[in-house]
Amino acid sequence: MVQIGYTLMSEQTPARELVDYAAAAERTGFDYAVISDHYFPWLEEMGHSPYCWSVLGAAAQVTERLPLMTYVTCPIMRYHPAVVAQKAATMGVLSKGRFTLGLGAGENLNEHVIGEGWPPVDTRHRMFAEAVQIIRELFSGEYITRQGEFYDVDSAKLYDLPERPVPIGIAASGGQSAELAAEFGDVLVVNEPMPAVVRQFKAAGGEGKPIYGQLPIAYDTDRDAAVRRAHELWRWSAVGGWKVMAELPGPVNFAAAAGTVRPEDVAESVPCGDDVSAVVEGVRKFADAGYTHVALVQIGHDQQQPFFDWAEKELLPALREL
């Protein structure tokens, strides 16, 4: 059975409400929760972007069983990998083993703030591979000293560690990243149904490991209102794929890139309204591609509580049938 998660959408939600939604997701019956790790929202209309690690610490205290995960953290610029390892280990302790560290190579949108420029994609991938190895080594609890191509670590040691090492999820979009995920990760993260990437991951040694995806939806009893809201807040997702999105430096650039995206374009990939079968079919595509986990993204902060009510009574029971 596919595990159904809830996305704590930090780009559209104030920090306090995100903590409340984590508790609500547990009460509603979601199997886990993920949270994005951004400095900026994709669009100005989204309006928020609190520090996800503070939210995670609070969420761990208002939940008891709900697994939590970053979706995903970039450990190559804004955060040094040694600092990411410490944050993740602390979350493992606070959550009593319910935390998974999702990692990815990042976006210019969030990483440019430190003023170091945005490296070319091949360089970013090498940086990412080195960062993941450092984090994995620090999770051992031993002293680590190394001089790498991109990062130096001087006698680093984590003193607060959970009983079991924090699982590492690695975001992938192609063969190279799928192989990296199989070698160094415990979990594969691929937002869209991509059977070829799943096959590459399994062939490289990832057989039997969890595979996470994410499905945006816009719940509303008024479908037209849902389509308008999805277009207002989610049109950035149709600007040309990850290779384009990873390079854009700010919300104004995402807005410009999405200038020709129409509401009906967004509705083609985002189930809008209160049609349970549309969401079930969206999740089925992931299940058929071999995914074990799918996190739903409810677009629109003002519809979160109605979404929870609908999910508990109608949506989650239907999804359990998959």
Cβ contact 100:60 at 8 Å:
no
Cβ contact 101:135 at 8 Å:
yes
pLDDT at 99: 98
Residue of 298, 248, 306, 242 lying closest to 270 (CA atoms): 298
**Pick the catalytic residue: 11, 107, 130, 137?**
107
Examine the pLDDT at 162 and tell me if it is beyond 90: yes
**Pick the catalytic residue: 38, 112, 231, 293?**
38
For 15-26, how does the pLDDT look when each residue is reduced to its tens digit (9 = 90+)?
Answer: 999 999 999 999
Distance CA 184, CA 179 (A): 9
Examine the pLDDT at 322 and tell me if it is beyond 90: no
Distance CA 256, CA 251 (A): 9
For 42-73, how does the pLDDT look when each residue is reduced to its tens digit (9 = 90+)?
Answer: 999 999 999 999 999 999 999 999 999 999 99
Torsion, CA 94, CA 110, CA 169, CA 91, rounded to 10: -10
For 97-147, how does the pLDDT look when each residue is reduced to its tens digit (9 = 90+)?
Answer: 999 999 999 999 999 999 999 999 999 999 999 999 999 999 999 999 999
Rounded to an integer, the average pLDDT of 166-182 is 92
Residue 80 annotated among the catalytic residues of the structure: no
Q: How many distinct helices (H) and strands (E) make up the chain?
A: 14, 11
Residue 38 annotated among the catalytic residues of the structure: yes
For 226-272, how does the pLDDT look when each residue is reduced to its tens digit (9 = 90+)?
Answer: 999 999 999 999 987 888 999 999 999 999 999 999 999 999 999 99
Task: Provide Rg for the chain, Cα atoms.
Answer: 19
Rounded to an integer, the average pLDDT of 215-219 is 98
Could you tell me whether strands 144-147 and 152-156 are parallel, antiparallel, or unpaired per DSSP bridges?
A: antiparallel
Confidence band of 173 (pLDDT split at 50, 70, 90): confident
Q: Kindly give the interhelix angle for 52-62 and 15-28, rounded to the nearest 10 degrees.
A: 40
Rounded to an integer, the average pLDDT of 280-306 is 97
